[in-house]
Structure formats: C-alpha cells, structure tokens
Amino acid sequence: MVSSRCFVVNEWLLHDLRGDNAQEAQDEAIKFLQRLKEKCDQIVVLHGSSWMQKAYDLMSCTNVRALSKYLHLAILRDIEKCRLLEQSEVRVLPDHVRESVPEEDVYLLESYYAANANALVTTDQKLRDLLSSHGSVAVRLRDEFLREYLEPE
C-alpha cells in the first residue's frame, strides 16, 4: 500500500495554470494535478488565504476555464485530494520563525505545520533558503519537485 503525502503548494501552481509562466509550465501544472488525482496524495489549502482567492479568481479567466474547473472539481472539492484548513486549525508561529518569513508567506508555514505536511513546494529560492536554515520545514523548489513527482512509476 502506498502511503499518502501532503503538500503545501504555493501560488506558482495557480500562476502556471493561468498561463503566466509559459506553455511548458502550464503543461507541468496540469500534469501535476493529474498525477495528484491518480496518487493517494493531497494538497493543503488554508480557507480564506491569498492562494484560495487566486484559485477563485482563476475561474474568471475565460482562456483557462476548463483548467480552473478541473482544479476546483477534481482537486479542491475532493477531501481525499485537498485538505482545506480553517483558520481555527492553524497555530500562531513562534516569533523567531514568523519574524524571519515575509508576511505574505506566513499562511504557507501555518498550513504546513497545521497539516503536518511532507513538503512545502515553492519557486521562491529566498524563502527556501530561509526555511532551510530553520531545519523544521521540508522545502522543495518547484522544478526539482515536479521532476521527481511527474516521473513515471
């Protein structure tokens, strides 16, 4: 039996799906969602976060409406594919961690700890370096993560 993994994926996924980062990135984002759907894995999303707002905004982009529909119906509304955290489930980060992370990324760490996630997947090298110095957060850069995750089994 394959054990499930839980990932906090920052906003690169939504930007890639929207087509902000070229066709290749969009294709990889689609493959990521398809692979996530196939596996026993899930993503973690904090209700009311900027990530969730961008996911809702994606629905208004007519050129990617089908992708948005897939994200929402196949992933975000499936409790086996998406763990939707309520604000009441997150704990306040320790001061030394909170002070070292940009304010816009705090919700990612709160989600990571609340879900006891396996990895936080980001495109932000500076954030990865910052969090790696704390040692308690498994941070993966998008490209290396996708290279491994999308490999055929």
Residue 28: which H helix or E strand, with range?
helix 22-38
pLDDT tens for 51-63 read 999 999 998 888 8
In total, the chain counts a number of residues equal to 153
Over 70: is that where the pLDDT of 132 sits?
yes
Report the pLDDT averaged over residues 57-72. 91
* pTM (predicted TM-score): 0.92
Query: pLDDT above 90 covers what percent of the chain?
Result: 77
Assigned fold of 6-149: Rossmann fold (3.40.50)
Over 90: is that where the pLDDT of 131 sits?
no
Q: In terms of DSSP bridges, do strands 6-9 and 82-85 run parallel, antiparallel, or are they unpaired?
A: unpaired
Domain boundaries, the chain: 6-149
**In whole numbers, what is the pLDDT of the chain averaged over residues?**
92
Scanning the structure block, which residue is given the tokens 């989600």? 111
Over 50: is that where the pLDDT of 1 sits?
no
Task: For residue 5, give Cα distances in angstroms to 2, 33, 82, 90.
Answer: 9, 14, 11, 19
Instruction: Give all strands (DSSP E) within 97-151, no chain letters.
Output: 119-122, 139-141
- Tokens at 149, concatenated: 């995750």
Over 80: is that where the pLDDT of 30 sits?
yes
Q: 134: Cβ–Cβ under 8 A, 6 or more apart, which residues? A: 97, 100
Bridge partners (DSSP) listed for residue 84: 45
Question: Exposure pattern of 66-78 as b/e (b: 16+ CB <10 Å)?
Answer: ebbebbbeebbee
